[in-house]
Amino acid sequence: MAGDGAEEEDEEGDMPPQPNGLLPGKEAERGSPAAGADAGALPEAQAMLPSPGSGVARAAPRLSWRRLPVLAVFSLYSLVNAFQWIQYSILSSVFVRFYGAPHSRVDWLSMVYMVAYVPLILPATWLLDTRGLRLTALLGSGLNCLGAWLKCASARPDLYPLTLLAQTVCAVAQVFILGLPSRVAAVWFGPREVSTACAVAVLGNQLGTAIGFLLPPVLVPNTVDDTDLMGHNISIMFYGTAAVSTLLFLLTLVVFDEKPKFPPSQAQAVLQDIPPEDYSYKQSIINLFRNIPFVLLLISYGMMTGAFYSISTLLNQMIVTYYVGEEVNAGRIGLTLVVAGMVGSIICGLWLDYTKTYKQTTLIVYILSFVGMIIFTFTLDIGHLVIVFVTGGVLGFFMTGYLPLGFEFAVEITYPESEGTSSGLLNASAQIFGIFFTLVQGKLITDYGPRAGNLFLCAWMLIGIILTALIKSDLRRQTINSGILNTDVKAVPVDSPTEHEKNNTELKYQSESAL
């Protein structure tokens, strides 16, 4: 585990020690104790950091080799959770036949993911902030595993209520998963790779959706005349998912720790100086909603991501309106959106790590998404599916590539508030806008056609562009990582309370031994 003494030799020491929280050469500029200045003259955040002569040893930022297994395991169980969400909707006709249920009841097997997220996100982020990253990861992976096994028991035509219960458990698991990418990236990864790590964490969920488009129709063909064979095929899919979920839960138990032994960045080093008992979750929520740039991002992010949810949900309906009998190609266009979005996420993450241009990149991608939506809207009905594949791919590239941008921009402008709380609120906004957009756009498509529904989304995306342009780009985390400690830092806990108590006990024992 990360707390073992053996790990110290395995750390990647590519960041030089910064015992006073400043980059080399900054001491004289900032009037640090090393330059002979009075500590009382220091900015508040800098004064909080141990000085070289204070007798307090601070761990130098280093990168742990364990960050890669942590990221891989998280991405994989997020993948399985997304796969379990989409496996019902992609096989809706099969499950309607198997359970003898109307389409509306089968649709709820997917809708429950959206419905469960909004009321549970605040309790989930409270748990993340007060009990820590490891427990939250175990809950997400464990509930995902439990839901998968309950589905195995529901592979009978008379057990629709059980499969709904199982899917509800998976939906609750999602609440402990969707808000973690930026937290995992911030706690485990250095400043030159944190945005890429966040993009990879988001990528897992997108890849799960892509596999969900492809694999279930292969495993469960629509054998209309043989319900027993249908049930057998459904069981194979359910048991396979449960086996993978169980393996990933065990890996989560082994791999996930609260944090690495050494902080990966100056921003994390500052946060670790404040004990967990000084943290108030209620005050953190108040601080976030008083942060005007974050509120603007919260609304604009919800509009963009909610529009993408609506397009994904109603894509089949839009395609078959103009291309009758092309349900298979409609699914392939949806897959194109997701795969292009995966590429967009990685490229955007790499770009952020290279340039640190958070607001500029977010605004440009927002504008390009809007342009892509306009092109998609006015080329949808020209009679060439190849063009729809291309425009759909472009749309997915920018709209999905926006996801890690929103997460990372939020972390920058809200530091030192919890990454999990800001990400969770962004996701809740996306779910609310997604439900609203889906209902309204669906009604417009039914009454006036797909173009009216798409123009409705275009209008909202234009508002989102304006709100994004108004966001003040105050990159607080980047300021700390650059060694310019002139912000008022009130840190969130990085340790869970139990780990903090253990650390205090160890320090007390070491002091008594020295005496």
Confidence of residue 273 (pLDDT cuts 50, 70, 90): low
What tokens appear for 79 in the block? 């993948």
pLDDT of residue 62: 79
pLDDT of residue 315: 80
Rounded Cα–Cα distance for residues 264 and 110 (Å): 38
Confidence of residue 486 (pLDDT cuts 50, 70, 90): very low
* Token pair 């492809």: residue: 214
Highest mean pLDDT among 26-35, 196-205, 314-323: 196-205
For 62-110, how does the pLDDT look when each residue is reduced to its tens digit (9 = 90+)?
A: 777 888 999 999 999 999 999 998 888 777 778 888 888 877 787 788 7
Coil, strand or helix at 15:
coil
| 264-285 mean pLDDT | 70
Lowest mean pLDDT among 223-227, 240-244, 306-310, 390-394: 223-227
Angle between helices 385-414 and 181-188 (to 10 degrees): 50
Q: Which residue has the higher pLDDT, 289 or 328?
A: 289
For 123-176, how does the pLDDT look when each residue is reduced to its tens digit (9 = 90+)?
A: 888 888 788 889 999 999 999 999 999 999 988 888 899 999 999 999 999 999
What is the CB neighbour count within 10 angstroms for residue 223? Answer: 16
Rounded Cα–Cα distance for residues 47 and 411 (Å): 23
For 345-356, how does the pLDDT look when each residue is reduced to its tens digit (9 = 90+)?
A: 888 888 887 888
| 397-422 mean pLDDT | 82
pLDDT of residue 278: 56
Q: Where are the alpha helices (DSSP H) in 11-132?
A: 26-30, 44-47, 67-89, 92-99, 103-131
| 461-489 mean pLDDT | 75
For 492-511, how does the pLDDT look when each residue is reduced to its tens digit (9 = 90+)?
A: 444 444 444 555 544 444 44
pLDDT of residue 424: 82
Q: Which residue has the higher pLDDT, 270 or 495?
A: 270
For 314-372, how does the pLDDT look when each residue is reduced to its tens digit (9 = 90+)?
A: 787 788 788 877 767 777 888 888 888 888 888 888 888 788 888 899 999 999 999 99
| 386-408 mean pLDDT | 88
pLDDT of residue 381: 85
pLDDT of residue 478: 73
Q: Rg of the Cα trace of the chain? A: 24
Q: Which residue has the higher pLDDT, 168 or 228?
A: 168
| 442-458 mean pLDDT | 90
